[in-house]
Amino acid sequence: DTAVSQTPKYLVTQMGNDKSIKCEQNLGHDTMYWYKQDSKKFLKIMFSYNNKELIINETVPNRFSPKSPDKAHLNLHINSLELGDSAVYFCASSQDPPASETQYFGPGTRLLVL
Amino acid sequence: GEDVEQSLFLSVREGDSSVINCTYTDSSSTYLYWYKQEPGAGLQLLTYIFSNMDMKQDQRLTVLLNKKDKHLSLRIADTQTGDSAIYFCAESRRGYNTDKLIFGTGTRLQVFP
């Protein structure tokens, strides 16, 4: 009965590889997000989709490409991984785009690039 | 998170009150939030306050908002060891075509017996 789930939970990979992180929510929400939390715990939004449409696209290298096959899923593909990509990536969802709606967070994917 | 400032650490004794402070930047933010992050976990919404309110109380939690100074605080009464976590304040900020959350730098609360 997990509300927002992410896979994998841990990801260790070599520099230069391409990897994907998956997110699914069973809350019936229309909006999903990807956040990056660095080693100092700074949390910053990367992308947001509403009804499969991209509505937030922060200054993120174009090696990062989100994909939303349907409202319940938002995946993040990362090409040519770099050391600085090591972080915890959180997926979240809310009913509507405005931030007045409560966002529910997934457990995070811990990415380590060697 | 560099625009929303919080002190990095707070250490309190079990049973005492904790006060976590936050300074935000956007005076037009309509909602301000407090999230809790336990070790190895995602963020959990604790409470939020609408910008036309000065105070909100929810069981052991009291949120105070000073719009003039753009200052937000979270008071936890009777702090327990289970309250040890990182606490993030967040403001809703108008982006290009939607609102987005801007998180603070996080305050690590440690509760000792």
B94 with B45: CB under 8 angstroms? no
Interface with chain A: mutation pick from B45, B92, B93, B99, highest number of A CBs within 10 Å: B99
Contact A107 B30 (CB under 8 A): no
pLDDT band at residue A23, thresholds of 50, 70 and 90? very high
Q: Which of B98, B102, B106 sits opposite A55 (nearest CB)?
A: B98
Contact B98 A100 (CB under 8 A): no
Question: What is the nearest CA distance from A108 to chain B, expressed in angstroms?
Answer: 6
Q: What is the pLDDT of residue B1?
A: 44
pLDDT, tens digit, for every residue of B14-37?
Answer: 999 999 999 998 777 788 999 999
In three-state form (DSSP H/G/I as H, E/B as E, the rest C), the secondary structure along A35-85 is: EEECCCCCEEEEEEEECCEEEEECCCCCCEEEEEEECCEEEEEECCCCHHH
Q: What is the pLDDT of residue A59?
A: 77
| Per-residue tokens: A35 | 């956040």
Contact A42 B45 (CB under 8 A): no
Flag whether pLDDT at A69 surpasses 80.
Answer: yes
CA distance B94 to B17: 34
Contact A108 B41 (CB under 8 A): yes
Name every chain B residue with its beta carbon within 8 A of the beta carbon of A106: 42
pLDDT, tens digit, for every residue of B74-111?
Answer: 999 999 999 999 999 998 877 666 678 889 999 999 99
Residue located via tokens 């009777």:
B78
A106 with A50: CB under 8 angstroms? no
CA distance B68 to B40: 36
pLDDT, tens digit, for every residue of A71-114?
Answer: 999 999 999 999 999 999 999 998 875 555 678 899 999 999 99
Name every chain B residue with its beta carbon within 8 A of the beta carbon of A55: 97-98
The mean pLDDT value for A35-41 works out to 91
Flag whether pLDDT at A45 surpasses 80.
Answer: yes
Single-letter code of the amino acid located at A75: N
CA distance A49 to A46: 11
pLDDT, tens digit, for every residue of B3-15?
Answer: 799 999 999 999 9
